[in-house]
Chains A and B, each alone.
Chain A
Amino acid sequence: MKIPLPWFVAIPLAAAFVLPMFGEKVRKTSLAIANGTMALLFLFSIFSLGRQDVYLVGRWTIPFGINLVLDGLSELLLLTVSVVSFASMVFSIRYMQRYTGLSKYLSLFLLMVTGMNGVVLSGDLFNLFVFLEIASIASYALVGFGCEHEELEASFKYMVLGSVASMFILFGVAMLYGMTGHLNMAYVSQALQGASLRLPVVFALAMFLAGFSLKAALVPFHAWLPDAHPAAPAPISAMLSGVLIKTLGIYALVRVVFNVFGVSPEQDWSIHLSWLLITLGVLSMVIGVFLAVGQWDFKRLLAYHSISQMGYVVLGIGIGALVIAQGGSHTWAALAILGGLFHLINHAVFKSLLFLTSGSIETATGSRLLKDLGGLAEKLPLTRTTCTIASAAIAGIPPFNGFWSKLLIVLAAVWAGHVWLAAVTVLVSLVTLISFLKVQRYAFLGNTPAHLDSVKENGGSMSWAMGFLACLCVLMGLLLLIPDLKTTILDPAVNTVLNGIQYAGDTIANSR
Chain B
Amino acid sequence: MLYALCFLLFMIGLYCALVKKNMVRIVLGIVIMEYAVNILLIMIGFRIGGEAPILSPPQGLPLKTSLQSVDPLPQALVLTAIVISLGSLALMVSICIRTYQRYGTFDITQIRRLRG
- Residues of A whose CB lies within 8 Å of any CB of B are 126, 130, 133, 136-137, 140-141, 144, 147-150, 152-157, 159-160, 163-164, 166-167, 170-171, 174-175, 177-178, 183, 226-227, 231, 294-295, 300
Contacts and interface: CB of A to CB of B under 8 A. Distances in A.
A163 B84 contact: no
Nearest to B71: A181
B96 A156 contact: yes
Interface string B19-51: 000010010001001101100110010000000
Contact of B33 (A149, A154, A164, A175): A164
Nearest to A304: B116
Given A167-B30, A167-B34, A174-B40, A149 B113 contact: yes
B95 interface: yes
A390 B73 CA distance: 48
Contacts of B114: 150, 153-154, 157, 227, 231
B80 A130 contact: yes
Interface class of chain A by DSSP:
helix
B70 interface: no
Nearest first, the 7 A-B pairs at minimum CB distance are A178-B44, A167-B33, A227-B114, A152-B99, A163-B30, A133-B84, A174-B41
A148 B103 CA distance: 10
Contacts of B102: 148-149, 152
Which of B41, B80, B96 lies at the interface centre, i.e. has the most chain A CB atoms within 10 A of its CB?
B41
A130 B85 CA distance: 11
Interface residues of B, number: 36
A167 B114 CA distance: 26
Given A170-B37, A171-B40, A174-B37, A147 B98 contact: yes
A268 to B, nearest CB: 25
Contacts of B95: 140, 144, 152, 155-156, 159
Contact of B37 (A171, A183, A294): A171
B10 A126 contact: no
26 contacts: A137-B88, A137-B91, A140-B91, A148-B102, A149-B102, A152-B95, A153-B111, A156-B23, A156-B96, A159-B88, A159-B95, A160-B30, A160-B92, A163-B30, A163-B92, A164-B17, A164-B33, A167-B10, A170-B81, A171-B40, A174-B77, A177-B41, A177-B44, A178-B40, A178-B44, A294-B116
B12 interface: no
A189 B113 CA distance: 46
B58 interface: no
Contacts of B10: 167, 171
A137 B86 CA distance: 11
B80 to A, nearest CB: 6
B75 to A, nearest CB: 12
Contacts of A130: 80, 84
